[in-house]
Amino acid sequence: MATVGLSTALFERGAACGGCYEVKCVEDLKYCLPGTSIVVTATNFCAPNFGLPADAGGVCNPPNHHFLLPIQAFEKIALWKAGVMPIQYRRVKCLREGGVRFSVNGRSFFLTVLISNVGGAGDVRAVKVKGTESGWLSMGRNWGQIWHINTDFRGQPLSFELTSSDAKTSTNFNVVPKDWDFGKTYTGKQFML
């Protein structure tokens, strides 16, 4: 419920995924629920519709700063029948329960890792991985918070170093055990707030 799709101007080609925003409805006394706000996590892209002008239906078109909220989240700040509403938003720290999650996929010749449940800034800007047979290697962003590297790490425990958009770094040593398998998720320590 507390996820949001961001328009092109905010999405940063997926780099903003994981970031948290406090959103509140403003300027419309008929539809806004006064004194309410919701904290949402950026998880999706609100694709532009270049067939419509940015001010007449193309709400996710550049340069608009648009948040595409699920119905349940929207109804926390405004009446659903209102449709597109003026909002105020600000970046806030992401408060998470449990540790950072590393969902491992790929094949023998490459590794992809979805990194989720990141506290603090929420959005990871750089990832390094280390096996027992390698030094620290930089991973590339595939999309959103999915990171990849063309290396065979099978049979090695994996450590990850994450750097968030606020330049804080968290290292999870051997968070993925030696007997890991594709399709599994492993939980590490959380960023210190």
DSSP character for 120?
B
The pLDDT assigned to 81 comes to 84
pLDDT at 84: 84
Residue 56: strand, helix, or coil: coil
Cβ distance 108 to 154 under 8 Å? yes
The pLDDT of residue 80 is: 86
Contact 62, 7 (CB under 8 A): yes
Q: What whole-number distance in Å separates Cα of residue 57 and Cα of residue 177?
A: 49
For the sheet with 101-107, list strands across it: 140-143, 146-149, 110-116, 101-107, 184-187
Mean pLDDT by 10 residues, the chain (193 residues): 91 94 90 94 94 86 93 92 88 95 95 96 96 96 96 96 95 96 96 70
